[in-house]
């Protein structure tokens, strides 16, 4: 195979790489946003967007090959095929945009900020032993606070242990699973939990029961930064961060830092009694 027009060949390859990346991203989002895709317009929009980028990718592969000796001799025929594919892709992209726009642009739906009156003004970070943390977390969930758990247990086992059904669980594990997050992805965990805390203006709770494992995988300083950052986000965004700390599983430095940075769970109970 010889390249006939290098500039056009490189251009088509770059566009192909871009659109293929877009198609892969949409496919990944469809897997991770299944609840949102139950809404038919969003499902149609993402599917048509995926197909359109896939068509553009194929068209660009043809375009690249037209600029080589592989298809250059029949370039008129393949250009016609390519034009049809790009036209279909353009209509699909328009359809995708309309499916996102119509529900809101027509006024049928509105985006409203969810706000509730404070249930308990005790926002910040707290530490306790594991069983106490579990009891406090479950109690706050029973008070209708939205919550999320960061744990070493798989989601179904964790929920069964606490008698829960729907509470989101992030499983800290190195196994390949849709609910699992690698313990070394602290930056991702920070962003995901910060998004949860900032998502709605209501009281909310986060439980972390695997600080020792996170320290093992990342080192103490990285986990100290992770916990203090989450505590600050919780304080600013009506969140209660509950961290399970077992003295026997931590170094003296880690135990002293975490128990000084976080308040003991008893202070949360005292604040709750004062407000009730």
Interatomic CA distance for residues 18 and 150, integer angstroms = 35
∠ CA 237-231-176 to the nearest 5 degrees? 100
pLDDT in tens, 185-223: 999 999 999 999 998 889 999 999 999 999 999 999 999
* Residue 162 near residue 172, CB atoms below 8 Å: no
Instruction: Give me the pLDDT at residue 275, please.
Output: 58
Instruction: Give me the pLDDT at residue 110, please.
Output: 62
- Label each residue of 251-267 as H, E or C: CHHHHHHHHHHCEEHHH
User: Average pLDDT in the 159-171 region?
Assistant: 94
Interatomic CA distance for residues 229 and 208, integer angstroms = 14
> Who contacts 66 (Cβ-Cβ below 8 Å, separation ≥6)?
72, 75, 78, 79, 82
pLDDT in tens, 79-105: 999 999 999 999 999 999 888 777 766
User: Does 276 have pLDDT greater than 60?
Assistant: no
User: Does 253 have pLDDT greater than 80?
Assistant: yes
Among 257, 149, 146, smallest CA distance to 204 is for: 146
Contacts 24+ apart (CB under 8 A), 218-226: 218/183, 218/184, 218/186, 220/251, 220/253, 220/254, 220/257, 222/186, 223/186, 223/254, 224/254, 224/257, 224/258, 224/261, 226/186, 226/189, 226/190
Say what the pTM is. Answer: 0.66
Residue 241 parent element (H or E)? strand 239-244
pLDDT in tens, 107-152: 666 666 777 778 778 899 999 999 999 999 999 999 999 999 999 9
3-state secondary structure of 195: helix
Instruction: Give me the pLDDT at residue 112, please.
Output: 65
């Amino acid at each position: 195979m010889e390249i006939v027009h290098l500039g056009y060949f490189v251009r088509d390859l770059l566009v192909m790489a871009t659109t293929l990346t877009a198609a892969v991203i949409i496919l990944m989002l469809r897997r991770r946003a299944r609840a949102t895709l139950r809404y038919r317009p969003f499902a149609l929009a993402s599917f048509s967007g995926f197909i359109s980028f896939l068509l553009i990718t194929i068209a660009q592969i043809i375009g690249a090959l037209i600029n080589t000796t592989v298809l250059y001799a029949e370039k008129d025929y393949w250009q016609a095929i390519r034009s049809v594919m790009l036209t279909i892709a353009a209509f699909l992209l328009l359809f995708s945009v309309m499916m996102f726009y119509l529900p809101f642009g027509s006024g049928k739906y509105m985006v409203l900020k969810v706000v509730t009156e404070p249930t308990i003004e005790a926002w910040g970070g707290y530490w306790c032993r594991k069983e106490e943390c579990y009891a406090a977390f479950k109690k706050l969930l029973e008070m209708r606070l939205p919550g999320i758990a960061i744990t070493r247990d798989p989601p179904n086992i964790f929920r069964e242990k606490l008698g829960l059904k729907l509470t989101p669980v992030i499983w800290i594990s190195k196994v390949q699973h849709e609910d699992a997050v690698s313990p070394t992805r602290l930056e991702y965990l920070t962003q995901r939990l910060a998004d949860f805390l900032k998502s709605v203006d209501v009281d909310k709770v986060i439980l972390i029961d695997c600080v020792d494992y996170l320290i093992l995988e990342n080192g103490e300083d990285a986990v100290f930064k992770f916990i203090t950052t989450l505590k600050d986000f919780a304080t600013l965004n009506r969140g209660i961060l509950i961290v399970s700390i077992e003295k026997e599983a931590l170094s003296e430095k880690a135990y002293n830092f975490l128990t000084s940075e976080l308040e003991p769970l008893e202070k949360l109970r005292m604040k709750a009694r004062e407000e009730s």
